[in-house]
A and B are shown apart, each in its own frame.
Chain A
Amino acid sequence: MKDILIMLLSTFGAMFILSSSIGLLRKPDVYLRISVTAKASTLGISLILVSAALFFNDYSVTTRAVAIILFVFLTISIGGHLLARAAYITKTPIWKGTKTDDLQGQYDAVTHKLYSEKHHSAIKPEKSENNI
């Protein structure tokens, strides 16, 4: 019973990580790629860690697995947010199929201060063709 559970958990974890890497190849621009990888890899890593904790069945391994899961959840979303912000400020091209872009021109070109009201600055990523 426990063996089957371990098998299921690690298989699903590997599948999520595989799907995130396929998404990384298939998505057309950097923001979509971040969005796909950030999510699928969090659950993938945590499922593999849970299956490792079940396999060893040891108090010290379990506490470490829980700590790693907690920090992965905290850091991956923050990492995705920072990557997206840096990509936008350096004017990485955005996919041409993007419907609305409220962030266009909202960053100050020099100080990188972000305005909440309408602002007009030079930071506007151009629309690109498929796959950059």
Chain B
Amino acid sequence: MTKSLFLTNLILAIIWVMATGTLTEENFIFGFFIGFGILWIITFKKEERKYFSGIPKWFGFGVFILLEIIKANFQALKESFYPKSKLEPGIVKVPLDAKTDIEISILSNIISLTPGTLIMDVSDDKKVIYVHVMHLLNKDKFINDIKQKFEKPLLELMR
């Protein structure tokens, strides 16, 4: 349902671009917002209503991930000059709540791009992932952090 609404929204944006006759990014995004508003007015069903809270949430999640990546890079910049005595690496087993392939691949990509972590592998039965951490201070806290910060909002969006 969400997919077809998203496609309708895109088509409305393209129609807006065709009607106004100027193909620029700003005009396309403006058309997208107009389509969003029109769809918001004409939908009544409950499952269709989910789309309108979904899009802003995805947007917010994207911004959050982008900020995390930038933070990760500044941390990596700092860590490059650390002496070896400050390093505390370790490989940690993190149990997964995500079930399908797409959820696991998005989650592992996000974890790879955030501070000090690197995905080693996903187990063959898709129950755990193994993560290499650069600063492992507290194992349980680290697992809890990953679950609360990345997995929970991601699963809320995907399901």
- A residues contacting B by CB (< 8 A) are 15-16, 19-20, 22-23, 26-29, 31-32, 34-36, 38-40, 42-44, 73-74, 77-78, 80-81, 84-85, 88, 95, 97-104, 106, 113-116, 130
Contact = CB atoms under 8 A, between A and B. Distances in A.
A106 B93 CA distance: 11
B121 to A, nearest CB: 5
Interface stretch (B6-14, B30-38, B111-119, B148-156): B111-119
- Most chain A CB atoms below 10 A, which of B79, B132, B139: B132
Interface of B: 69-70, 72-73, 76-77, 79-81, 84, 87-93, 108-109, 112-113, 115-125, 127-128, 130, 132, 134, 136, 139
Contacts, number: 133
A115 to B, nearest CB: 6
Nearest to A85: B121
Contact of B130 (A16, A32, A34, A102): A102
Is the contact region of chain B dominated by helix, strand, or loop, or is it mixed?
Answer: mixed
A32 B76 contact: no
A99 B120 contact: no
B134 to A, nearest CB: 6
A132 to B, nearest CB: 13
Leading 10 A-B pairs by shortest Cβ distance: A77-B112, A23-B80, A102-B93, A116-B123, A43-B73, A35-B118, A99-B90, A100-B90, A116-B127, A19-B77
A20 B112 contact: no
Nearest to A111: B124
A130 B80 CA distance: 16
Contact of A40 (B76, B112, B122, B123): B76
Nearest to A43: B73
Nearest to A32: B89
Contact of A97 (B88, B93, B128): B88
A84 B116 contact: no
Contacts of B80: 19-20, 22-23, 26, 36, 40
B128 A81 contact: no
8 contacts: A19-B81, A28-B84, A81-B121, A95-B87, A98-B89, A103-B121, A114-B122, A114-B130
Nearest to A77: B112
A102 B116 CA distance: 17
B90 to A, nearest CB: 4
Contacts of B79: 23, 36
Contact of A81 (B69, B89, B120, B125): B120
